[in-house]
Amino acid sequence: MFENFVTEDINVGDATVHVRHGGEGTPVLLVHGHPRTGSTWHRVAPALVERGFRVVVPDLRGYGSSRGPAPTEDHEPASKRAMAGDLLRLMDALGHDTFSLAGHDRGSYAALRLTLDHPERVDRVALLDCLPIVEHLERIDATFATEWWHWFFFAQPHTPERVITADPDAWYHGDPQRMGQENYDEWRAATRDPAVVRGMLEDYRAGLTIDRRHEEEDRAAGRKVTPPLLVLWSLRDDLERLYGDPLAIWRDWATDVRGHGIDSGHHMAEEAPDDLTDALAGFFGPRSATA
C-alpha cells in the first residue's frame, strides 16, 4: 500500500500522529472513520496523487497507530476539537498553510470541527456519510435507535471494552478481498489492541457529550461552514433512507453546499474508490499548490 508515500510519526503536542503523505500539488487531507485506520484510503490516495495532488493520510488520535493523552471523565481528549487540533498541527508540520479536506464517518466530524473552527485554513471540504451529530440526535426514533444502537452502547462505561476485547474478531467484521489484504491486516491488528478499542469508544463518548455541546454552540451562534462543501453519501447505506435528501439538512449548516450519492456500501473508499476519486478530484482541483 501507499507506494512512494512517506510514513512517519509526528509529534503534534499532546498527541503523536501516524501519517502517510506523498505526491505534489494542492494538499489534500484525508481523514478515516470508525473502525478503520488511514489505510482505508489505500486505493483513493495514490489515485489522487496521479491526479496531481499532494495527499496526507493520518490515523486519528486513538485509532490505528496514533496516540493521544489518557481518557478523562469529560472525554475532552477524544473530542473532535482535540482531533482537529492534531490535524491542524500536522499540516503545519508538513508545511501546508491551507489545504483541501475530506472526512468519512467519524473522521467527518473531525473535519467538520476543523472547518468550523479554522475556516481560513480549509480551501474546500468534503464530508462523506455525515450529518452533524445534533441532527442525528434530534431525529431519534425507533428506527434510528435500532439501527444506530452502537452509538449508545459505545457510550456506556467499561462494558463495551470488555465485550469487544473478549473477541474482537467476532465483533468487527472485515473482508480482506474487498478491503485489500494489507488494509485488512492493518485494520485487524488495530482492532485487537485494547488501547485502540478504548480510543475508538472514547470517540463515541465524546460525540454524545462534549462534541454535541460544541455543535449546539455553533448553531446558537449562527456559525456555518463557509468554504465550499461537498456532501457524499453511500446509496447502499442508510443515510438517505433515514432522512431523505442529506443536502436539505446541510443547507442549514453551510453557505455553499452540493453533493450526491455514491453507489457503494458504507466504506466507499474501499468499495467505490474510482467514483470517490472522481468526485473528490473534480471538487478539489486542479488548482496551484498551497504551502
User: How many angstroms separate the CA atoms of 2 and 5, rounded?
Assistant: 5
Grid cell in block for residue 124: 474546500
Residue among 105, 123, 211, 218 flagged as catalytic: 105
| SS3 label, residue 33 | coil
Instruction: Tell me if residue 118 is catalytic.
Output: no
Instruction: Report yes or no: 114 and 84 within 8 Å, Cβ to Cβ.
Output: yes
User: How many angstroms separate the CA atoms of 61 and 220, rounded?
Assistant: 28
Instruction: Tell me if residue 18 is catalytic.
Output: no
Residue among 34, 117, 238, 266 flagged as catalytic: 266
User: How many angstroms separate the CA atoms of 28 and 187, rounded?
Assistant: 23
Grid cell in block for residue 132: 452533524
Question: In a 10 Å sphere around its CB, with 0-12 CB exposed, 13-18 middle and 19+ buried, how is residue 89 labelled?
Answer: middle
Phi, psi of 6 (to 5 degrees): -90, 135
| SS3 label, residue 30 | strand
> What distance lies between CA 103 and its chain's CA centroid?
4
Q: What strand order describes the sheet that includes 229-234?
A: 6-11, 16-23, 53-58, 26-31, 99-104, 122-128, 229-234, 257-262
What are the catalytic residues? 105, 266
